[in-house]
Amino acid sequence: MNDTSDKRPSPPRHADTRVVTAGRHPPSYHGFINPPVYHASTLIYPSAEDYVAQRSRYQYGRIGTPTTEALESAIAELEGPQCAGVALLPSGLAAISTALLAVLKTGDHLLVTDNAYGPTRAFCEQILSRFGISATFYDPTIGGEIAAQFRPNTRAIYLESPGSLSFEIQDAGTIAKVAHDKGAVVLIDNTWATPLYFRPLDHGADLVIQAGTKYIGGHSDVMLGTVSANAAHIAALKQTTFLYGLCEGPDDVYLGLRGLRTLAVRLERHFKSGLEVARWLEQRPEVLRVLHPALPSHPGHALWRRDFTGASGLFSIVLKPVPQKAVYAFLDALTLFGIGPSWGGYESLAIPFDLAPARTATKWVPGGPTVRFHIGLEAVTDLIADLQRGFAALAAAA
């Protein structure tokens, strides 16, 4: 076997290389580049004694197969040296709930960023509350001032940066430092950046969540969640995943692995096209503000520059006040932007949203109607022509 990329230990340095090489082991599969998709529940042991001693590299389909191990180890390598292991879950939301359940117990208090993904907030309010775990929400831009919000029983703090729909950037390093001084665990949803553009474990996070459904899968055809943990939390993460009986189906694991291989080139394009479209939108007379962290006009731009090495294709705009029907006319006139949830696939998307009812620690007063875009892999010229069509329809309906 002369495939040097699969010899260890000497992980290639650049992340773009690591998405290609990580988690591969052709010698184990007769030289074939990719691992087989193991459809597995039971496995059999050579003897009764081996069974009783659990003398086997794998124990059971739910616990792990060479297919799941390939994706786990690939993601672990991308997360950086602080990563002690990865759990694969059936969705991004399952990754969020599993990570929270891995660290919390009855009587604990949790701090949650006010711009968290909607179902994250609902899980805290509707499920954790049933276990006697209380959650309070904090201003995502609070930085070091977060210290004042810790209570004696604050066990964990949850971050998401940039936040869903509104794109505030959090000072993750400062918040993690305060949290650790207070003895609290730091969890972060890193779906937007992926470990290619931000590595939270390097900035003090203990558990990192990703909806692999988005950029890791990358083709709008898979539900997948991942949680990466540092050494202090990997045992609790694995135990919680195991005892809740959670696992990801082998075909979906494989789609995650397949998507991962092109993550770097796809993200580069989402970044470049997203920023081009964002800059174009910023010049439009119909647009009040563009909420894209890579634009100098974004309030979190300095933090983004400090911590992130890129931006994905997801951002929002605030339109100047127009009737709601004009916003719908704008969206309905688009032909390349699908109107639909989720994101991270190859195609462009757009949705209207209103965060006002979702905020409790901060007020959402954007100054006009808001729309979120996912910029896919289409040519920017075509996307801009489509948006021009949308603005013509908006003007006609306003």
Q: Residues in the site for ligand PLP, rule: CB under 6 A?
A: 91-93, 117, 160, 164, 189, 191, 211, 213-214, 223, 225, 342
DSSP string computed for 197-224: H--GGGGT-SEEEEETTTTTT-SS----
Q: From CA 273, how far away is CA 59, in angstroms rounded?
A: 45
Q: How far is the CB of 391 from ligand PLP (least distance, A)?
A: 27
User: Is 117 marked active-site?
Assistant: yes
Residue 86 belongs to what H/E stretch?
strand 85-89
Question: Taking the CA atoms of the chain, what radius of gyration do you get in angstroms?
Answer: 22
- Residue 175 or residue 329: which is nearer to ligand PLP going by CB? 175
User: Is 24 marked active-site?
Assistant: no
Asked whether the beta carbons of 120 and 209 are under 8 A apart, the reply is no
- Residue 209 or residue 329: which is nearer to ligand PLP going by CB? 209
Catalytic residue among 121, 155, 199, 214: 214
Catalytic residue among 62, 182, 320, 359: 62
Asked whether the beta carbons of 98 and 87 are under 8 A apart, the reply is yes
Catalytic residue among 114, 189, 206, 307: 189
- Residue 225 or residue 390: which is nearer to ligand PLP going by CB? 225
- Residue 247 or residue 287: which is nearer to ligand PLP going by CB? 247
Residue 29: CB atoms within 10 Å: 14
Q: Assign 306 to helix, strand or coil.
A: helix
Q: From CA 260, how far away is CA 25, in angstroms rounded?
A: 16
Asked whether the beta carbons of 264 and 15 are under 8 A apart, the reply is yes
Q: How far is the CB of 34 from ligand PLP (least distance, A)?
A: 23
Q: How far is the CB of 152 from ligand PLP (least distance, A)?
A: 30
Catalytic residue among 38, 117, 158, 215: 117
- Residue 28 or residue 220: which is nearer to ligand PLP going by CB? 220
The pair of structure tokens assigned to 208 is 């990192």
Asked whether the beta carbons of 327 and 352 are under 8 A apart, the reply is yes
Phi, psi dihedral angles at 233 (to 5 degrees): -120, 0
Question: Rounded to 10 degrees, what is the CA torsion of 328, 353, 382, 272?
Answer: 170
Q: How far is the CB of 155 from ligand PLP (least distance, A)?
A: 21
Q: Give the residue nearest to ligand PLP (CB).
A: 92
- Residue 65 or residue 161: which is nearer to ligand PLP going by CB? 161
User: Is 62 marked active-site?
Assistant: yes
Asked whether the beta carbons of 102 and 158 are under 8 A apart, the reply is no
Residues annotated as catalytic are 62, 117, 189, 214
